[in-house]
Amino acid sequence: MRAYSSHKDIIKLVNKVDSVGLVPTMGSLHEGHLSLIRKAISENEKVIVSIYVNPLQFNNVNDLKKYPRDIKNDLQRLEAISDIIVYVPGDNDIYEKDKKKKKYNFGHFTKIMEGKVRPGHFDGVATVVEKLLRMFNPSNAYFGEKDFQQLILIKTLVKKQELKVSIVGCETIREDDGLAMSSRNKLLNSSERTIAGNVIRLLKKAKKLYKSSTKEETKFNIIKDALMIENFNLEYFEILDISELSGFLEEEKEIRAFIACKVGKIRLIDNIKI
């Protein structure tokens, strides 16, 4: 593993390589990130892992301040993986003189769920991801399905901007009780950690109910259940057909249940195929 803070140094290393895999992260690495990195290593000649907490995608200053950062530990975890390139930029290297959110128009799907609850979030994500993709011109870029709406956003971005990269969605990695791995999990205290187990419980319950109930009945039942849980604030629960989520992509029909909540002050999201 070698870490660089200048993208120009990395470009020199990868510009003659057959296939480059990019794994964009915001650090505080966990097993979920490591699974993306392992997949990237198995499919590319060189792999770049970026670690950058992108200020443009936070619609709340406090959330940005509190976002977990642990660069020392991240680099230690990556140390053992030989032959990867780690990009740890400062704001200036990534945005140069232009630290501004680009305004995209991705249509309806950026106005629901995460797009509705976090206005401007997706423009911030797309801005940094487009910068990284144009910078390194990777053959493949890897993103987790936990942020499923983000995955669709990035696929849409790539198609609209006609970027030559294949976006690889990777399965969510979970803790033993089913909680989706997330950098934010380490901010939960022990009682919040127990309550967080309800996220996957509700999704699995929705999957079971949906076999014999309508979408509206399932949603009603899950929302009612969620409202009874102490210290669990539901932000949204949705059941959506992926093929309708972004009209721009030709995704196959697939029904997924999506949830976002706050446990104490910590925001958690998850989704499963139902």
Q: Kindly list the catalytic residues.
A: 33
Which of 47, 125, 173, 222 touches ligand PAF by CB under 6 A?
125
Residue 24 touches ligand PAF, criterion: CB under 6 A: yes
Please identify, among the stretches 61-69, 96-104, 122-130, 231-239, the one whose residues bind ligand PAF according to the rule CB under 6 A. 122-130
Tokens 């002050």, residue? 265
Residue 26 touches ligand PAF, criterion: CB under 6 A: yes
Which of 14, 36, 94, 128 touches ligand PAF by CB under 6 A?
128
Residue 64 touches ligand PAF, criterion: CB under 6 A: no
Residue 89 touches ligand PAF, criterion: CB under 6 A: no
Which of 130, 147, 238, 270 touches ligand PAF by CB under 6 A?
147
Residue 149 touches ligand PAF, criterion: CB under 6 A: no
CB 166 within 8 A of CB 44: no
**According to DSSP H, which parts of the chain are helical?**
7-14, 31-43, 61-66, 71-79, 91-95, 114-117, 121-136, 148-160, 190-196, 198-210, 215-227, 242-245
Tokens 């999957």, residue? 207
Of 267, 15, 10, 35, the residue nearest 145 (C-alpha): 35
Amino acid making up residue 7: H
Residue 133 touches ligand PAF, criterion: CB under 6 A: no
Which of 25, 139, 156, 172 touches ligand PAF by CB under 6 A?
25
Please identify, among the stretches 65-73, 76-84, 124-132, 191-199, the one whose residues bind ligand PAF according to the rule CB under 6 A. 124-132
Task: Give helix then strand counts, H and E, for the chain.
Answer: 12, 9
Residue 110 touches ligand PAF, criterion: CB under 6 A: no
Q: What is the CA radius of gyration of the chain?
A: 19
Q: Provide the minimum distance between the beta carbon of 180 and ligand PAF in the complex, in angstroms, as a whole number.
A: 12
Q: Provide the minimum distance between the beta carbon of 107 and ligand PAF in the complex, in angstroms, as a whole number.
A: 20
Tell me the sheet residues that pair with 262: 233, 267
How far is CA 95 from its chain centroid?
20
Distance CA 225, CA 202 (A): 8
Closer by beta carbon to ligand PAF, 89 or else 239: 89
Contact residues toward ligand PAF (CB under 6 A) are 24-26, 54, 57, 125, 128-129, 147, 150
